[in-house]
Amino acid sequence: MNEQRRPGSWTVPVHRIKKLPLRWQQEVLLWKGFDGPLDEWVLKPIKYDFRPRSYWDPLDLRQLVANIKGAERKKRALALLKQGRLEEANDFILADTLSEEDREMAGRIHPAFMGGEYLPDYRPGEVEIARVTVASMLEDVTSVRARPHGARIGYPMPFAGPFVCRL
């Protein structure tokens, strides 16, 4: 039997997980399976050779929300974009950076609403291409950004949280 069962009637597709190339990926997915069913996209292999034509495509609607610093605001904007309802988002949701007053107001609602809000502002031409959000009380965020650097692309990684990352 290729499925492992746990009380509660969920399944972990072990035979599909074992096809992933890296051991750490297999272990993470097996552990994630203990929390419930895995989404189908999680089991698709990562295309390590993928390179976008550009990080600066003005026709890509995701560019409208790419530089929203707040983790919760960005989640909401992406959900509205996916549903084709981005026009329903207000200026508070779509702002790249909140004023100090708005940040404090959001933090009074719940500390998680401050996640990402203290990242440094984006430089001209800089766009966020990836994000790691830690599921913690304050939703610590690491942002991977791309910016033109002559004929090349620079990849700064600002971090808003209590940990130090060294690469």
Digit-coded pLDDT (tens) for 89-124: 899 999 999 999 999 999 999 998 999 999 999 999
Are 136 and 154 spatial neighbours (Cβ–Cβ below 8 Å)?
A: no
Asked whether the predicted pLDDT for residue 68 surpasses 90, the reply is yes
Digit-coded pLDDT (tens) for 126-152: 999 999 888 888 888 989 999 998 888
Are 98 and 117 spatial neighbours (Cβ–Cβ below 8 Å)?
A: yes
Digit-coded pLDDT (tens) for 14-33: 555 555 556 666 666 666 66
Strand ranges inside 84-166, DSSP E: 127-133, 141-149, 152-154, 159-160
pLDDT number for residue 94:
93
Q: For residues 79 and 145, what is the distance between their CA atoms, to the nearest angstrom? A: 21
Domain extents in the chain: 3-43, 61-160
Nearest to 156 by CA among 143, 166, 139, 140: 143
Mean pLDDT over all residues of the chain? 79
Q: For residues 138 and 134, what is the distance between their CA atoms, to the nearest angstrom? A: 8
Element (H, E) at 73: helix 71-82
pTM: 0.66
pLDDT number for residue 165:
46
pLDDT number for residue 51:
82
